[in-house]
Amino acid sequence: MKQAVILAAGEGNRLRPFTASKPKAMLTIAGKPILEHVIEALAGSGVRSIVLVVGYRREQIFDYFGSGEQSGVEITYVKQERRLGTAHALLQAKGVVADEFLVLSGDKLISADTIAGFVAVEPEAVLVKRVDNPTRYGVVTIEDDLVREITEQPKVAESSLISTRIYALSREVLNVIDARLAISDALNAMIAQGRPLRAYETDGTWLDIVYPWDILSLNGLILRQINPEMGGVIEKGVSLRGLVSVGKNTVIRANSSIVGPVVIGDGCHIGPHVCILPATSIGDNVVLAPLTEVENSVIGSDVTIGAGSIIQDSVIDQGSVIAGHFTAAAGEAEVRINDEHHSLKVGAMLGEGCNIGSGVVAQPGVILGSHSRVKALRLISGRLPDRSLVF
């Protein structure tokens, strides 16, 4: 396999507010968009011809990846104007795909070892994996390494084996898509016609992101695999332990402590007397003022966090400005996403461009929409829509 089609047109409604202004595939995990992790995994396995099917907020993908030269690949873009399913997305690439090609999702995190062997298989084939929550995915029924059926999101799963939605396909599959919306439906039709679909199992990295707090779990897992790089200026008295990567033109001021795995981007100003604890990613041009503590969190680029703040198990999107003594401590919370209720331990989820006054306390599980403003000394809780004003 020398070519891969990556489906990256989706929005990710349950991930709002973080997908209100960006595609799901462009969510940042461990300092990089999910889509960049996928492209790097393909390039690491020798697949350098990439077809990107884009739709929602596609200009952000164009601007970030361009021709693919920076990533060591060659990218061809195909637009999916209406998001009518994965089969419809693949059909948009009909004019540019080779005789044989891989298909992957741009919003599922993988590593090179996940597909290293799969790039050599012959079509038609699907990569499968055992998971703890199979009913969220397409459950695969297998007999003698051949797929008998893919059942999407069954109420009861007969096995823990699911489709990763990574396929090795030939152009023949395009002939059976017709009006079908999902690739799994097209493959089931091929199976019904007597064409074999082989299953190959992986135990490599394959991580899905469905809810805002999934950003934290994926970030923590990927950070364990980073290659530490040390750029910028590290002042005397700074303590660095574990896997720590610091970007160029970043300054870590005296008496700060960083315990990895941690990634800090370019052009940041950290400290003095700042504590950054494990499983934390910090974007570019971030300011962490003195006496601030951040743990197990994802801080987007161009964020400013004032002095004396405490941030745990939280996601703060790009461009937010937070005054001093902000508290987002982790705790048990009941969080509602659409009609679903979730009980979990989490901090705060803040959309991009928020402006938070001094002394604000965010209760565990709060989801604050993008471009919201919160006056000083307020307590915020629950779910607040984009452009909320809390006075």
| DSSP string computed for 297-339 | -EE-TT-EE-TT-EEES-EE-TT-EE-SS-EE--EEEEEEETT
Structure confidence by residue, pLDDT tens digits, 73-97: 999 999 988 877 888 889 889 889 9
**Angle, CA of 25, 59 and 96, to the nearest 5°:** 80
Q: Residues 28, 218: contact at Cβ < 8 Å?
A: no
pLDDT cut 70: percent of the chain above it: 99
Structure tokens at 137: 């995915």
Q: How far apart are CA 206 and CA 299, in angstroms?
A: 23
- Evaluate if residue 279 carries a pLDDT over 90: yes
Cite the DSSP H helix spans in the chain: 34-44, 58-65, 86-91, 112-115, 174-177, 183-192, 214-223
The SS3 assignment for 54 reads strand
* Domains in the chain: ranges and CATH: 3-210 (3.90.550.10), 228-390 (2.160.10.10)
Q: How far apart are CA 329 and CA 312, in angstroms?
A: 5
Structure confidence by residue, pLDDT tens digits, 155-191: 888 888 999 999 999 988 888 886 667 888 889 888 8
- Evaluate if residue 368 carries a pLDDT over 90: yes
pLDDT at residue number 35: 94
Pairing assessment for the beta strands 293-295 and 331-337 based on DSSP bridges: unpaired
pLDDT at residue number 356: 97
Amino acid at residue number 135: T
Q: How far apart are CA 191 and CA 181, in angstroms?
A: 17
